[in-house]
C-alpha cells in the first residue's frame, strides 16, 4: 500500500500549488483496501494487483484533470499581464547594463517579446466560458523552456569566455555580457509561476 500511496503522491504532485491535494488523495485512497482484497480473491498476485490499482487510479487522475477548469476571460487577462510583467522586469534589470555599454540585441529580443505579449493580450479571444488546463502538458512546456534557456546560457557563456580570453572583451564588458543572459531567467520563471494565475482563475 505504501507503493500505491507514493504513486498517488506522484499523480497529484503537479496539482499541489493549484488545488487542495489532501482531499483528492483521500478520494483516491478510499476503497483501495477493498479493491485490493477483491483482486486477491480473483487470484491475482501482488504485482498484478498493483498494476490493476494503478490503472484504475490513472482513470481517476484523468477525472481530476478535467476538474482543472478556469474562467477563460479571467485567465486570458491575468496570464497575459503576468507574462508582460515578468518581461518588463527583465528589461528594467537590463537597463544598468545597457547604460554601461552592454550589447543591445538581448534587450531588443525582450522588448520584442513584450510587444508580442501585448498584441496577444489585445487580440486574445475573450468569450466567456470555461477552459480546461492540462497541468502535465504545462509542466512539459516548463521543462522544455528551461532546457532551451540553459542551452542559450551555455552557448552565450562559452562565447563570452572565449572572447574575454582572446582579449576582445574588457572585464567590465565580460561581466555585462554574462549578466544579460542571466537576467533572462525571468522568462522561463514566468512560465513556472503561471500556476499562481491558474489558481486565481480556477472554478470549482
Quote the CA–CA distance of 40 and 78 in Å, as a whole number: 50
CA pseudo-torsion sign 98, 103, 105, 109 = negative
The structure's pTM equals: 0.74
Q: CA-CA distance, 199 to 23, in Å (whole number)?
A: 16
Q: How far is CA 99 from CA 51, 91, 107, in A?
A: 61, 13, 12
What's the rounded Cα separation, in Å, for the pair 143 and 10?
A: 17
Q: Which residues contact 2 (CB under 8 A, 6 or more apart)?
A: none
CA distance 146 to 168: 30
pLDDT at 77: 86
Cα(86)–Cα(65) distance, integer angstroms: 28
For 130, phi then psi, to 5°, come to -110, 145
Per residue in 37-64, pLDDT (tens digit) is: 777 777 777 777 777 777 777 666 666 6
Collect the ranges in the chain with pLDDT lower than 70.
1, 31, 58-67, 126, 204
Q: What is the pLDDT of residue 63?
A: 67
Q: How many CA atoms lie within 13 A of 88 on its CB side?
A: 9
Find where cell 554601461 sits.
100
What is the arrangement of strands in the sheet containing 202-203, beginning at the earlier edge strand?
130-132, 69-71, 202-203
Rounded CA-CA distance 46/40 in Å is 8
For 54, counting Cβ atoms within 10 Å of its Cβ (0-12 exposed, 13-18 middle, 19+ buried), the class is middle
The angle formed by the CA atoms of residues 29, 33 and 34, to the nearest 5 degrees, is 115
Amino acid at each position: 500500500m505504501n507503493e500505491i500511496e507514493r504513486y498517488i503522491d506522484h499523480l497529484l504532485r503537479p496539482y499541489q500549488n493549484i488545488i487542495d491535494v489532501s482531499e483528492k488523495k483521500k478520494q483516491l485512497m478510499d476503497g483501495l483496501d477493498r479493491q485490493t482484497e477483491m483482486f486477491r480473491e480473483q487470484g491475482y498476485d501482488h504485482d498484478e494487483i498493483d498494476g490493476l490499482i494503478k490503472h484504475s487510479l490513472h482513470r481517476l487522475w484523468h477525472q481530476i484533470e478535467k476538474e482543472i477548469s478556469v474562467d477563460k476571460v479571467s485567465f486570458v487577462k491575468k496570464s497575459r499581464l503576468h507574462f508582460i510583467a515578468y518581461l518588463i522586469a527583465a528589461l528594467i534589470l537590463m537597463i544598468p547594463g545597457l547604460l554601461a555599454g552592454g550589447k543591445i540585441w538581448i534587450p531588443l529580443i525582450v522588448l520584442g517579446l513584450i510587444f508580442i505579449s501585448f498584441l496577444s493580450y489585445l487580440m486574445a479571444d475573450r468569450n466567456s466560458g470555461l477552459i480546461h488546463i492540462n497541468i502535465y502538458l504545462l509542466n512539459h512546456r516548463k521543462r522544455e523552456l528551461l532546457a532551451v534557456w540553459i542551452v542559450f546560457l551555455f552557448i552565450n557563456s562559452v562565447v563570452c569566455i572565449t572572447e574575454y580570453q582572446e582579449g576582445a572583451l574588457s572585464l567590465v564588458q565580460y561581466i555585462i555580457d554574462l549578466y544579460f543572459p542571466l537576467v533572462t531567467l525571468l522568462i522561463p520563471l514566468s512560465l513556472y509561476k503561471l500556476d499562481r494565475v491558474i489558481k486565481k482563475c480556477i472554478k470549482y
